[in-house]
Amino acid sequence: MSNRTTVTEFLLLRFSDVRELQILHFVVFLVLYLASLVWNLLIITAIALDHRLHTPMYFFLMNLSIVDLGSVSVIIPKSMVNSLMNARSISYSGCVAQVFFFLFFISANFSLLTIMAYDRYVAICQPLHYEMVMNRGVCFQMATSAWITGILYSALHTGNTFTVSFCGGNTVDQFFCEVPQLLKLACSDSYLSEVGVIVFGACLSLSCFVFVIVSYVQIFRAVLRIPCEQGRHKAFSTCLPHLTVVTLFTFTAILAYLKPTSSSASGLNLLVAVLYSVLPPMMNPIIYSMRNKEINGALSKWMCWRLFIKNKMSIGLLR
């Protein structure tokens, strides 16, 4: 391929060339995708329908679930279709769209995780000022800024990636269009600006992660001063899941974008990509709801109400 204009499609990496393993990959990804959809939709529904969950923390959690739904829907369906159809191609425009929307959801995800850390900091370290600091207008502005940040960063990233000249063929060493793997196909003198954007994004992500860690240091110090053991347990139960999600997401994403791609094995590339792109959207709602009585209570109430309505309609039809 002499330059970008001659590239009409890219060839994505298969998980296996064995047909049976391709079907297995389809089934596994289908299960993961359905689990992500169900869990995140349940979180969104519970928060939207239960007025007791109309608080800043759950408002940001609902936004996070929407972002997770978007990010997992950008890459998994195409990979599933390729495995089912024994194909590996994606059109040039499809690759551009995949890069843009995936980066958009990933950057918005990280912005929301940082905002949620600040929300927990204010709630625990400055409880008397919480309602004033995290009022409805401020929460809306923070969520909007997270989405706008995602759009701007994704546009910059995508624009820089696809203005380079691709001289190294059209085979992407990944199961979706991932920027570092696309840059391996670029001419050596045309991708330095995009490398700069990647380094800038990594530094920004690390800065946000440091902010999250500092916030949680202050949070844990405040929690340890709580005299009531039940109060300490409740504070830890709302903070530890968030810290777990942030840590997993940050380190796997930074590893994917900063590790030397030329020396990385395809198997390692696939594993890291699955860790930061597929697992978090499925694990986030499980982690947040597993020890959260409010979420579990809202889900139970909603499910019981649905069963009650269904049974009432069935009885009415029998009559």
Q: Give exposure, 181-199, as e/b (b: 16+ Cβ within 10 Å).
A: bbbbbbeeebbeebeebbe
As for how many domains the chain has, the answer is 1
Helix, strand, coil % over all residues of the chain, rounded to 5 = 80, 5, 15
10-residue mean pLDDT series, the chain (319 residues):
63 85 91 90 85 87 92 92 89 93 91 89 87 91 93 88 80 86 74 68 80 85 75 67 74 68 62 80 75 66 60 54
The residue type of 267 is: G
Q: Is the model's pTM score more than 0.85?
A: no
The first and second tokens of residue 146, run together, are: 């997270």
The first and second tokens of residue 160, run together, are: 């820089």
Which domain CATH number covers 85? 1.20.1070.10
Which pLDDT does position 188 carry in this prediction?
A: 61
Please name every residue paired with 173 in a beta bridge, in sequence order, or none if there are none.
none
The first and second tokens of residue 308, run together, are: 């009650």
Distance between CA 220 and CA 215 in Å, rounded?
A: 9
Which pLDDT does position 286 carry in this prediction?
A: 77
Please name every residue paired with 186 in a beta bridge, in sequence order, or none if there are none.
166
Which pLDDT does position 201 carry in this prediction?
A: 74
CA terminus-to-terminus distance, the chain: 71
Residue 119's alpha-carbon distances to 41, 138, 204, in angstroms, are: 23, 11, 20
DSSP line for 98-135: HHHHHHHHHHHHHHHHHHHHHHHHHHHHSGGGHHHHT-
Which pLDDT does position 138 carry in this prediction?
A: 92
Please name every residue paired with 89 in a beta bridge, in sequence order, or none if there are none.
11
- Residue 56 near residue 258 (C-beta atoms within 8 A): no
Residue 316's alpha-carbon distances to 302, 307, 311, in angstroms, are: 21, 14, 9
Range of the domain at 95: 4-318
Reduced to 3 states (helix: H, G, I; strand: E, B; else coil), residue 171 is: strand
